[in-house]
Amino acid sequence: MFDKVLIANRGEIALRILRACRDLGIKTVAVYSKADESAKHVRLADQAICIGEGPAKESYLKIPNLLAAAEISGAQAIHPGYGFLSENEAFAQMVAEHDIQFIGPDAEHIRIMGDKIIAKKTVKELGIPVVPGSEGALVEVEDAVKMAEKIGYPVLIKAAAGGGGKGMQVARNTTQLREVFPIARQEAEANFGVPDVFMEKYLERPRHIEIQVLADHHGNVVHLGERDCSIQRRHQKVWEEAPSPAVTMAQREELGEIVTKACRGMGYKGAGTFEFLYEDGKFYFIEMNTRIQVEHPVTELISGIDLVAEQIRVAQGHKLSFSQKDITLKGHAIECRINAEDPETFAPSPGKVNVYHAPGGPGVRVDSALYAGYSIPPYYDSMVAKLIVHGNDRDHCLRRLRRALSEFVIGDIKTTLPLHRELSMDPDMVKGEYSIHWLEKWIKAKKSSS
C-alpha cells in the first residue's frame, strides 16, 4: 500500500525505520540537515533530501520543509521517529491535511496526551489508576494549600504542558508550598508558554515502569508488557530492561488489561506507552507517550515483534496479525544507552569516531548510525548507540551484557561505555533493586569517594 515512506528523523532511529521499511518492501526517503550530509541514514536511503542547516530548528523541526520533501518525493507516509516532531499535534494535523499518512496516532490523541491534566483526566475516566492529586489546574495558592491538606504532604507541583520533569517543585509543608507554587507557575509559563500547574502526592522512592501498547485502526489493541526505566540521570534514561525485576505476572496481566481497555475506549491507534510510577506494590499513571520510544527494542527482543514494522502496517490500515493470546514474552532484555559524553562529568564529547568495533554474537543487538570515520555533529542529542542484549533470564542477560560491553570499542571520543561496564557489575543492579533515584545517588557516592 505504501510505496514510499519519508523518515522525518536522523541517527539510529532513522536507520531503524529504514530497516523496517526495507523488510516490508517499502522505499525510503531520508531527510537531512547540512550537518548530516555524511550520515548513515542518508547513505542507505533510496532517496535523500536536504531540508536545511545544522540546528534542528532550521531543519528537522521545519514543518514546511518536511511537507515539501514529502510532496517532491511522492512519499505516501511520514514516520516521525522519536523527539523532533514526533509528538507535535500541528505536524500530525498538517501531514493528514496533505493526504499523507502520519505513522502515529491521530493529532487528537497527541493533543490529549500533550496536556498532562487532560491526559490524566482522560485515562482516569477510562479506569487507569492515577496519582492522587488535583483534578484540574490550580491557579490560586490558597487552593493549592487546601488541596495539599487534603492529599497530605509531601506534594509535587507539575506543569500541565510539561513532561520530562521540567518545572516540577516538591513541597513538604505549607510554608514550602506557598514559596514554590508561584515559582512553578512562572517556570511553566517561561518553559511552555502556559502557566497551568497541577498537584500530585509526591512519591518518594518509586520505580518508573511503562507499558507498551499497539493498536490497529479496527479497534484491536494488545499490550507487550512493561519496561523498567528507573535507571536515569536528570530525566535521561540510561538503562532500560524488560520485564521489570519488580513486576509479577499477575500485575502485568492486570495492568495490561486495564491499558488495552483504555486504548479501545479512546480509539487510540498505533504504538503507545503508558508511563507509571510504581511504589509499594501499586501503579500510578503519570503520562502517555504517543510515539515509538528509544527503548522499544527491549520489548522487541522479549516479544519477537517488530514494533516499527507494526506501526507502519497499522498505519496502512492492516489489522494486527496477532491477538493478546498469541503474545508470549520470553526471557529478559536490557538496553544500555551509549552517549558521546565524558563518563564522569557527562559533558558532551562530539567529534570523529576513528575506531568502531560493535559487539555481536547470540542475543546481542546494536542500534547505531555510527561507523569508523564518522564525525558526530555537535547539534543533536549525545546518544550515539544502543546496546540491547537478550538472555533466557536476567542473570543470563547480564552475563551477555558484560560480554558485549567488553567487546564494544568506540574511539577516540569519550563515551558512557565505562559507566555501563560498572553498572553491569554493581550488586544492586545485579539484584535489580533500584528506584528512580538510584543512579544519581550512585554517581554522587562515586564522586565523593574518588
- Least distance from ligand MV4 to the Cβ atom of residue 230, Å: 7
- Selected binder of ligand MV4 within 59, 76, 232, 416 (CB under 6 A): 232
Q: Are strands 351-352 and 375-376 parallel, antiparallel or unpaired?
A: antiparallel
Residue 123 in contact with ligand MV4, rule: CB under 6 A: no
Q: Give how far Cα 355 sits from Cα of 88, 282, 375, 384, 412, Å.
A: 37, 46, 11, 14, 7
Q: Give how far Cα 68 sits from Cα of 15, 71, 105, 313, Å.
A: 21, 5, 22, 24
Nearest-angstrom CA–CA distance, 59 and 406: 37
- Least distance from ligand MV4 to the Cβ atom of residue 288, Å: 11
**Complex with ligand MV4: residue 76 or 230, whichever CB lies closer:** 230
**Complex with ligand MV4: residue 334 or 436, whichever CB lies closer:** 436
> Where does residue 328 rank: exposed (0-12), middle (13-18), buried (19+ CB within 10 A)?
exposed
**Complex with ligand MV4: residue 228 or 367, whichever CB lies closer:** 228
Nearest-angstrom CA–CA distance, 133 and 354: 52
- Selected binder of ligand MV4 within 16, 41, 120, 208 (CB under 6 A): 208
Q: Give how far Cα 118 sits from Cα of 122, 137, 191, 260, Å.
A: 6, 10, 19, 19
**Complex with ligand MV4: residue 131 or 148, whichever CB lies closer:** 131
Q: Are 337 and 239 in contact (CB under 8 A)?
A: yes
Q: Give how far Cα 11 sits from Cα of 80, 100, 128, 182, Å.
A: 12, 23, 35, 39
Q: Are 280 and 201 in contact (CB under 8 A)?
A: no
C-alpha cell of residue 106: 491521530
**Complex with ligand MV4: residue 60 or 285, whichever CB lies closer:** 285
Helix (H) or strand (E) holding 405: helix 394-407
Residue 304 gets the label, from left (phi > 0), alpha (psi -120 to 50) or beta, of left
Residue 156 in contact with ligand MV4, rule: CB under 6 A: yes
Would you report the helix, strand and coil content of the chain in percent, each value rounded to 5? Answer: 40, 25, 35
Question: Which one, of 309, 404, 302, 296, lies nearest residue 358 by Cα?
Answer: 404
- Selected binder of ligand MV4 within 127, 136, 152, 165 (CB under 6 A): 165
**Complex with ligand MV4: residue 114 or 163, whichever CB lies closer:** 163
Is residue 16 flagged as an active site residue?
no
Catalytic residue among 185, 227, 291, 337: 291
How many CB atoms sit inside 10 A of residue 104's CB?
27
How many amino acids of this chain bind ligand MV4 (CB under 6 A)? 17
Residue 131 in contact with ligand MV4, rule: CB under 6 A: yes
- Least distance from ligand MV4 to the Cβ atom of residue 76, Å: 34
Which residues ranging from 417 to 436 are in contact with ligand MV4 (CB under 6 A)? 436
C-alpha cell of residue 416: 558512557
- Least distance from ligand MV4 to the Cβ atom of residue 325, Å: 32
Which string of x and - marks every residue 256-295 that binds ligand MV4 (by CB under 6 A)?
A: ---------------------x--------xx--------
**Complex with ligand MV4: residue 169 or 232, whichever CB lies closer:** 232
Alpha carbon dihedral 142, 144, 146, 152, in 10-degree steps, equals -150
Nearest-angstrom CA–CA distance, 82 and 291: 6
- Least distance from ligand MV4 to the Cβ atom of residue 326, Å: 31
**Complex with ligand MV4: residue 237 or 414, whichever CB lies closer:** 237
Give just the sign of the alpha carbon dihedral 115, 116, 117, 122. Answer: positive
- Selected binder of ligand MV4 within 172, 235, 282, 447 (CB under 6 A): 235
Which string of x and - marks every residue 167-206 that binds ligand MV4 (by CB under 6 A)?
A: ---------------------------------xxxx--x
Residue 365 in contact with ligand MV4, rule: CB under 6 A: no
- Least distance from ligand MV4 to the Cβ atom of residue 166, Å: 8
- Least distance from ligand MV4 to the Cβ atom of residue 170, Å: 8
Active site residues: 291
Question: Where does this chain bind ligand MV4 (CB under 6 A)?
Answer: 131, 156, 163-165, 200-203, 206, 208, 232, 235, 277, 286-287, 436
